[in-house]
Amino acid sequence: MRSKILEELYINKGNYISGEVLRTKLGVSRTAIWKHINALKEEGYNIETIPRKGYMLLEMKDKLLPKEIEALISNNAIGQQIVYFDSIDSTNSYAKKEANKLKDGTVILSEEQLLGRGRRGRNWSSPKGTGIWMSLVLKPNIPPTEGVKMTQIAAAAVCKSIRELTGLNALIKWPNDIVINGKKICGILTEMAGELNEVNYIIVGIGINVNTDGFSCELKEKATSLFIEGGKKIDRRELVVNILKNFEALYNIYIKDLNLDETLVIVKNYSAILGKEIKIIQGNLEKKARAIDINNEGLLLVQMDDGSKELISSGEVSI
Ligand code: BTN
């Protein structure tokens, strides 16, 4: 019922629609309509209520509301179902908790995260209305060992979208960061559950600093935003839609025969580390090496100081 009311408000956007008209059209009591309207307001919809005139949906500036995104997403399968929060602990935590009930391709979005999670147990700062904090719920029929490739697909999709929409020189710092001018703009946290040879679900969590206009002292040295780099505010809805479309295109190519080639073209073309001296951090271990290639499986090939080569499948890299 709530989405039917929302649809009516959308059709009449900018005009009042009376409680009576809604009641007759939708066949529910005026009290029920009033309750649903209040719930929609709590979800973030800007609805003006005037006695005897009714309800009017007002312009919602730069909110990631599902209807706004659905209007742009057309027939993309990923993003047909959107779960939206004004505030939540973490979109990844929610997706994990509800994974069994959520359909393949569901996208969770929140204006802010109170307990945003990064890799290696770190926090992920997610202030209200300034970034994209989203999780994709995927249920592909692939062996669990393939799951890590979702991070590469997401990194390629985000990097491509940022470049397309802003013209900024976004680069991928293998395996899961997007950087601009050496500072982090996006992080990806992929979490998976499954059996020995079957994936139950994969959650791809993507955090992007979009319109953030400043960072705390501790983050300032390492983090940046699209606004800081480009000097222009970005429409977050457009960026979300672009990412979901690019992700789906690369994901479908990959899923067809588990071929990551198309993704790897982007990952290699826009690599921040290939050909560079890097530091690899794995747990408490740190080693220096030269990044020389990313192989067909998305693993990083490095050359050590003694000339030996090693394939790296996980860990963190610093330049
Ligand atoms: C990292 O670079 O450490 C990964 C950061 C991932 C942050 C995103 S924001 C949306 C999703 N929900 C979370 O709690 N984390 C991921």
CA–centroid distance, residue 158 to ligand 1 (Å) = 14
Name the pLDDT band for 1 (thresholds 50, 70, 90).
confident
Question: Which pTM was predicted?
Answer: 0.88
- What is the domain-level CATH number for residue 137? 3.30.930.10
Predicted local distance difference test score (pLDDT) of residue 71: 77
Measured distance between the N- and C-terminal CA atoms of the chain, rounded to whole angstroms:
53
Query: Based on the domain organization, do 265 and 291 belong to the same domain?
Result: no
Using the atom order of ligand 1, give the atom closest to the CA of residue 90. 14
- Burial environment of residue 123 by CB neighbours within 10 A (0 to 12, 13 to 18, 19 or more): exposed
- What is the domain-level CATH number for residue 23? 1.10.10.10
Mutate to test the pocket of ligand 1, among 206, 208, 240 (most ligand atoms within 8 A of CB): 206
**Can you tell me whether residue 264 is helix, strand or coil?**
helix
128 marked ligand binding residue: no
Query: Based on the domain organization, do 112 and 228 belong to the same domain?
Result: yes
230 marked ligand binding residue: no
Span 109-121, pLDDT tens digits: 999 999 999 999 9
Query: Based on the domain organization, do 231 and 141 belong to the same domain?
Result: yes
Predicted local distance difference test score (pLDDT) of residue 63: 86
90 marked ligand binding residue: yes
Q: Average the pLDDT over 245-265 and give the result.
A: 96
Predicted local distance difference test score (pLDDT) of residue 192: 96
Residues 6+ apart with CB under 8 A from 58: 14, 46, 47, 48
CA–centroid distance, residue 125 to ligand 1 (Å) = 9
Domain interval for residue 39: 2-57
Query: Based on the domain organization, do 297 and 213 belong to the same domain?
Result: no
Query: Based on the domain organization, do 105 and 205 belong to the same domain?
Result: yes
Quick one: tokens of 113?
Answer: 């995260």
**Average pLDDT value for the chain:** 93
Span 28-57, pLDDT tens digits: 998 999 999 998 888 778 899 999 899 998
Angle at 152 between CA 212 and CA 173, to 5 degrees: 55
Mutate to test the pocket of ligand 1, among 126, 136, 281, 314 (most ligand atoms within 8 A of CB): 126
CA–centroid distance, residue 90 to ligand 1 (Å) = 8
Query: Based on the domain organization, do 171 and 285 belong to the same domain?
Result: no
Q: Are 254 and 260 in contact (CB under 8 A)?
A: yes
CA–centroid distance, residue 115 to ligand 1 (Å) = 10
**Ordered alpha helix ranges (H), 44-114:** 66-73, 91-98
91 marked ligand binding residue: yes
Tell me which residue of 46, 134, 36 sits closest to 85, measured CA to CA: 134
184 marked ligand binding residue: yes
CA–centroid distance, residue 116 to ligand 1 (Å) = 6
CA–centroid distance, residue 26 to ligand 1 (Å) = 40
Buried b or exposed e, range 87-122, using 16+ CB within 10 angstroms? ebebbbbbbbeebeebebbbbbbbbbbeebbebeee
52 marked ligand binding residue: no
Tell me which residue of 188, 153, 159, 165 sits closest to 264, measured CA to CA: 153
Predicted local distance difference test score (pLDDT) of residue 7: 82
Mutate to test the pocket of ligand 1, among 87, 133, 184 (most ligand atoms within 8 A of CB): 133
Predicted local distance difference test score (pLDDT) of residue 67: 80
CA–centroid distance, residue 124 to ligand 1 (Å) = 6
Q: Are 150 and 191 in contact (CB under 8 A)?
A: no
Q: Are strands 82-85 and 54-57 parallel, antiparallel or unpaired?
A: unpaired
Query: Based on the domain organization, do 37 and 170 belong to the same domain?
Result: no
Tell me which residue of 305, 302, 304 sits closest to 315, measured CA to CA: 302
Query: Based on the domain organization, do 37 and 132 belong to the same domain?
Result: no
CA 124 to chain centre: 13
Query: Based on the domain organization, do 261 and 303 belong to the same domain?
Result: no
Q: Are 276 and 290 in contact (CB under 8 A)?
A: yes
Query: Based on the domain organization, do 211 and 235 belong to the same domain?
Result: yes
Ligand 1 pocket residues where CB is under 6 Å: 90-92, 113, 116-119, 122, 124, 126, 133-135, 177, 187-189, 205-207
- Crossing angle of helices 261-269 and 236-257, in 10° steps, is 130
Predicted local distance difference test score (pLDDT) of residue 61: 66
